[in-house]
Amino acid sequence: MSELSTPNVPHFSAEERDTLYRVIAARRDMRHFTPNTRIDDATITRLLQATHQAPSVGLMQPWRFQRIRTIQQREGIAALVMAERAVTANALGERGEEFLRLKVEGIRDCAELWVVSVAPDDGTLFGRRTMPQAMALCSVACAIQNLWLATRAENLGMGWVSMFDPLALAEWLALPAGSQPIAILCIGQVEAFYSAPMLELEGWRQGRTLDDGFFT
Amino acid sequence: MSELSTPNVPHFSAEERDTLYRVIAARRDMRHFTPNTRIDDATITRLLQATHQAPSVGLMQPWRFQRIRTIQQREGIAALVMAERAVTANALGERGEEFLRLKVEGIRDCAELWVVSVAPDDGTLFGRRTMPQAMALCSVACAIQNLWLATRAENLGMGWVSMFDPLALAEWLALPAGSQPIAILCIGQVEAFYSAPMLELEGWRQGRTLDDGFFT
């Protein structure tokens, strides 16, 4: 094979490599968005292309993205998240009050609201005979991570809200039978990116460092 | 907040944004590696840092990476994958023979072999009360996707092998109780990157395009 020299198969410089590392380091789970903004169509197209270039087990591409277009849908989704937030606060016991002071989503303020689902199973066996659900789910998560990095490189914020009852959300959106919604994504302009994960800045939890048994 | 002007919170140029998009587009699931190579320690450290900067639900950081260091372990893992490959071929019925002609892993040739697991559940409720397993799994997948892009920007190949019995692999590696292995990662130098997904080049399956109902 001599593909290394073709335009489709680039060789990256140290500077380009470091650009990727800077994007990865600067990515944050955002909950604060600038209200009354929008994202232009060309940017949306670039974001979707990057998302769709994700890996998937057996090339099954199990991701489905639904753009929420009406205020009514947005309000319904916000209500579902608020309901789960209350249940979570209760389940957290003594940290429940502290939890309720955290901002956990930017559903009403963000420019774009997208719901991401794992598509109904298409029967792909390649690479997932022993872990069918897990591998489809991982493929969708990889697509979301592509999107997360793409938004950051566009200087847009993104937050992944997972605080909802997936069955209630699927019903509210009338998703096809067998769909598994896993993310409500808030995307849009932000005043500023957090300098560290918001849960650290707010004193909720401290992330651990590389040398703490993650890699052996 | 005035963090946009701090060094920790970069603003990306259109050129830097396009670099990210080029890395995303050039990433491939690689199965062909250059034998008898290694990856230097500085590169490994950069890869691990990028991996560990992934998002995680409730900041639980559930990823665990085990570097496979002995030939014996590598051979044991290769044997587990070969066993599942045979079962998959059988399950595929009339496409079984075609499947067996595909190269599905580079376990013996790659410079580095890492096994990735979801850690035993730490009880985190934040953001995962309704989807505890799925959200931990998604966090680990995001870490793997960070690593995948990082390897590509380092001009290294990576392949995610998911063709194994997770219980057998956990037992073979004596993983802590409750660990869920989800990936055998082959990482290393390659002669050339595929110009398109290998499953497309080999005629196994054609990926669909953006306008095919992935985004509505």
pLDDT digits (tens, 9 = 90+) for B153-211: 999 999 999 999 999 999 999 999 999 999 999 999 999 999 999 999 999 999 999 98
Sheet of A180-188: strand order equals A63-67, A112-118, A180-188, A157-161
> Stretch A171-177: mean pLDDT, rounded?
96
Domain boundaries, given as residue ranges, for chain A:
29-201
A84 and B21: CB-CB below 8 Å? no
**Which residues neighbour B83 within 8 Å (Cβ) at sequence distance 6 or greater?**
B165
Average pLDDT, chain B: 95
Can you give the pLDDT at residue B9? 82
Q: Check CB contact of B168 with chain A, cutoff 8 Å.
A: no
Closest C-alpha among A206, A122, A141 to residue B140: A141
Instruction: Kindly provide the ipTM of the predicted complex, given to two decimals.
Output: 0.96
Note the CATH architecture for domain A29-201.
3-Layer(aba) Sandwich (3.40)
Q: Check CB contact of A201 with chain B, cutoff 8 Å.
A: no
With CA atoms as reference, the chain A residue closest to B124 would be: A92
Can you give the pLDDT at residue B7? 53
CB interface of B with A, residues 105-124, below 8 Å: none
Can you give the pLDDT at residue A191? 96
Q: Quick: pLDDT tens for B114-131.
A: 999 999 999 999 999 999
CB interface of B with A, residues 137-156, below 8 Å: 137-142, 144-146, 148-150, 152-155
Dist. CA B170–CA B16, nearest whole Å: 40
B1 confidence band (pLDDT: 50, 70, 90): very low
> Stretch B2-13: mean pLDDT, rounded?
67
Q: Quick: pLDDT tens for B80-95.
A: 999 999 999 999 999 9
**Residue of A12, A142, A152 with shortest CB distance to B23:** A12
pLDDT at A3 over 50: no
Can you give the pLDDT at residue A28? 98
* B214: chain A residues, CB-CB within 8 Å: 48, 52, 61, 63-65
> Stretch B96-119: mean pLDDT, rounded?
97
The dihedral over CA atoms of A197, B128, B52, B159, expressed in degrees to the nearest 10, equals -140
Angle (CA) A164-A170-A173 rounded to 5° is 110
* B1: chain A residues, CB-CB within 8 Å: 191-192
Residue A109 one-letter amino acid? D
* B168: chain A residues, CB-CB within 8 Å: none
Total beta-carbon pairs less than 8 A apart between chain A and chain B: 281
**Residue of B20, B87, B146 with shortest CB distance to A19:** B20
Q: Check CB contact of B22 with chain A, cutoff 8 Å.
A: yes
**Residue of A20, A57, A162 with shortest CB distance to B149:** A20
Can you give the pLDDT at residue A9? 82
pLDDT at A6 over 70: no
Q: Quick: pLDDT tens for A86-138.
A: 999 999 999 999 999 999 999 999 999 999 999 999 999 999 999 999 999 99
